[in-house]
Amino acid sequence: MPVLCQPAVDVPEHVITAEETLALAERRHARHPQLPLALKLIRNTGVQKRHIVQPLEQTLRHPGFEERNRVYEAQAKERVPAVVQRALDHAELTPAETDAIIYVSCTGFMMPSLTAWLINRMGFRPDTRQLPIAQLGCAAGGAAINRAHDFCAAYPGSNVLIVSCEFCSLCYQPTDVDIGSLLSDGLFGDAVAAAVVRGRGGRGLRLERNASYLIPHTEDWISYAVKATGFHFRLDKRVPTTMEPLAPVLSDLAAAHGWNASRLGYYIVHAGGPRILDDLCRFLHVEPHAFRHSRATLTQYGNIASAVVLDAFRRLCEEGGVPHGAPGILAGFGPGITAEMAVGRWVGGPAPADAVRAGAGRVMSAAAEPR
């Protein structure tokens, strides 16, 4: 079965801290009637810092949609190749051994996709399949993993490269001052991530089953208004409540595989905000420690959109992994409201004991048996 190997992740060198974010909001929106609520919501995200592709003073200026998209393309071409190479190295593959590239991003636009540029730039074969995904937002990380799984099922032995490139800071709109926009100004960060799904061999998450689900009639809860000035992010206040209907869907996916979602060895989920993780703990009846990787991504990088699940999975890999055969679940959530979910077992065994941080074993001691 296909295996999701250890991802590579890179964040830009420019940093904005939580304290700077709050001070900026107070300074720029001093007369906003709901400023105290906005500040409270930003504090409650738990985000300590975020990384952005341009210095803060440039980020706060809006030179126009055309210039922002030019920056997006230039930054993608500068930053993506090294991350792709590290992901290939983790999977012990070369570009010539890659059969498809799935590129996901919701923060800029290129045609042809960056996939074409990567094929020419990095020596992938001319017959490499290309699958750009542009409109699934934060759910696209999970969708990319699932489509890679599907591709490997259709073409056994194939290898698929996944690339996520999210420069959320390039979507900052200084004229948007509703609560949802102010919250997003303090929540989203930039990152590039890549991972390989190997059709045979590899160490990581063996993908065994995947599923998609859309909560009916919620398509306007997370959306873009596309205007002359670019992408204007719209966030409904009901979004944090979505785990109540989605947690049973995760449980059903695990049950269809013969597993109990409350007793898995690892959980890799999109961290759109702390309430999502808190609610999943409650509805799935698991300890908060189970979501430590997703919470660490949120705390240290903010919401990095489609790259979240790849970064959270990277953290599990760098922690040392879990015992061979341990069951787990991975899920991305985004516009729609859409969930992209996968279950599978860890293969390849853990890293040497001295590389495993304290705590990883505690989760497995209570969750070695999924039934």
- Residues with a catalytic annotation lie at 138
Q: What does the pLDDT read at residue 349?
A: 61
pLDDT in tens, 322-340: 999 999 999 999 999 999 9
Which segment, 18-27, 210-219, 348-357, is predicted with the most confidence on average?
210-219
pLDDT in tens, 75-98: 999 999 999 999 999 999 999 999
Give the Cα separation of 275 and 277 in Å (integer).
5
Q: Quote the mean pLDDT of the chain.
A: 92
Q: What does the pLDDT read at residue 138?
A: 94
Q: What does the pLDDT read at residue 367?
A: 38
Q: What does the pLDDT read at residue 181?
A: 87
Q: What does the pLDDT read at residue 252?
A: 97
Q: 81 preceded by cis ω (within 30°)? A: no
Give the Cα separation of 205 and 6 in Å (integer).
9
Give the pTM: 0.91
HEC-encoded secondary structure of 285-341: CCCHHHHHHHHHHHHHHCECHHHHHHHHHHHHHHHCCCCCCCEEEEEEEECCCEEEE
More confident residue, 240 or 369: 240
Contact 190, 199 (CB under 8 A): no
Can you list the domains of the chain with their CATH numbers? 3-198 (3.40.47.10), 204-350 (3.40.47.10)
Measuring CA to CA, which residue among 75, 126, 120, 84 is closest to residue 103?
Answer: 84
**With bands split at pLDDT 50, 70 and 90, how would you rate the model's confidence at 321?**
confident
Answer yes or no: is pLDDT of 198 > 80. yes
Q: 337 preceded by cis ω (within 30°)? A: yes
Dmax over CA atoms of the chain, in Å, equals 60
